[in-house]
Structure formats: C-alpha cells, structure tokens
Amino acid sequence: MTDTEKYENFMRRCIELAKIAKKRGDSPVGSIIVKDGQVVAEGIEGDKTHNDITFHAEIEAVRNATLSLGKTDLSDCFMVTTHEPCIMCSYVIRHYKIGLLIVGMTTGEIGGYSSALPILTDRTISKWTAPPEIIDKILEQECKELHN
C-alpha cells in the first residue's frame, strides 16, 4: 500500500466523522490522530452542539490523543483532517508538535497555512519546533461534497 492509499483510508474515516458532525448541525469536519499506523484518537466538530468554539475536530482529536497516550508531545503522531485547520487549531497543532498533517481541502481566509496568517508554516516563533509537513488535497472532492 502506498502512502497516498494509506492517507486516503484514514481520510475516509475522517469523512465518516464529518458526516456525524453535519447530521447534528455542526460544520462537517472530522479529524484523527495516527501513531504507528493506528488511529489513537478521533475528533468530531462540535462547536454548535457544545456551544463552545474550542470544540473543533482537530482540537478534540488532540485532546483525545493526549488522554489516550498520556503525553503532550505528539511529534511521533500525524493528523488527518477533512479541512485545513483554522488559525486556532493550527496553534494547537504546533504546540503539541504534530509533524505531519494530511488535509482534504483548504479553507482560505481562516486557514492555518493558506490564509494571510499561516501559523502552521510560520518559522519566526522560536519556541516552536519546525512546521509540520503538509500533504493536502487527499480525497479533496469528497471533502468538498460534505458541504452539499
């Protein structure tokens, strides 16, 4: 299995999670954290459900990963998410040192790397490690169709 096929399989799980979010009235975003080829945590967008903006899928996945792994350094993990992480989620990804990010679709104006505030790729914050490698457009069309 190639890396692309592996990432597509993980993205399919994220799409399933995004559909759960959409069904309950939240933005259709799903995210997972993978370590050693295994999903160790999942996150479903829930800011409307919980009436709390911090319930973004990426932040939920990180919260669940730190609980399940018992550590805050996630540099040996990677994240897969249907949408480019927003600026808030990007800060969390950098703080927890996630080194690889697999993304379905970009979000533009509020995105962590495609916006005017590219926190995910910023190299000027000296206390952060190197920016994560970003591989995007994995099942991009399927991720865009979540908004139909």
Least Cα distance to 33 among 58, 6, 67 occurs for 58
First to last CA, the chain: 31
Least Cα distance to 91 among 61, 71, 121 occurs for 121
Distance separating alpha carbons of residues 125 and 114, to the nearest angstrom: 18
- What's the token pair of residue 57? 């899928």
Out of 16, 42, 45, 58, the active site residue is: 58
Q: What is the DSSP string of 118-132?
A: -TTT----TTS-SPP
Whether 8 sits among the annotated catalytic residues: the reply is: no
Catalytically active residues are 58
